[in-house]
Amino acid sequence: MQKLTAQRKAILDIINRSDKHWDADDVAYALRKEGVQIGIATVYRGLAALAEQGLIESIQLADKKRYERADKAHHDHLICTGCGNIEEFCEPEIEMLQDKVAEGCGFKMQGHQLLLFGLCKTCNGKGS
């Protein structure tokens, strides 16, 4: 297990204080706003190390990785290709179907991520 340096602790604290899906630039900006002097390369390395240790979760989007708290219950993501908004959802029927497919293929699933890409209500012109 890698050492939890002061910089990594600061990154972990920023992420754990919210439900946001963070990218490296967001983390670096938020830390600098709090007076933490940290370079973007250190942020990237810190995020990767924290994800590898299971202290945060990562999701790979088309353009970049995003990171979130690891203590959330399992959920999947709706990602708006218009505005970039990320919404979380959990649908038991989808979870059961994924388990059934894996079992039917003799596949021992160790985890999964479901990312649905499209337009949110606002970008789709159906916002309230």
pLDDT tens track of the chain, all 128 residues? 678 889 999 999 999 999 999 999 999 999 999 999 999 999 999 999 999 999 999 998 877 899 999 999 899 999 999 998 999 999 999 999 999 999 999 999 988 889 999 999 999 987 55
105 falls within a domain? yes
Residues 25 and 53 in one domain: yes
128 falls within a domain? no
> Which are the contacts of 56, defined by CB distance < 8 A and separation ≥ 6?
12, 15, 47, 50, 67, 68, 69, 70
Residues 56 and 18 in one domain: yes
Q: What is the value of pTM for the model shown? A: 0.81
Residues 51 and 95 in one domain: no
123 falls within a domain? no
86 falls within a domain? yes
1 falls within a domain? no
46 falls within a domain? yes
> Which are the contacts of 109, defined by CB distance < 8 A and separation ≥ 6?
98, 99, 102
16 falls within a domain? yes
Domain of residue 12: give its range: 6-69
Helix axes of 24-33 and 6-16: crossing angle, nearest 10 degrees: 100
Residues 92 and 107 in one domain: yes
Q: How many domains does the chain have?
A: 2
CATH of the domain at 80: 3.30.1490.190
CATH of the domain at 58: 1.10.10.10
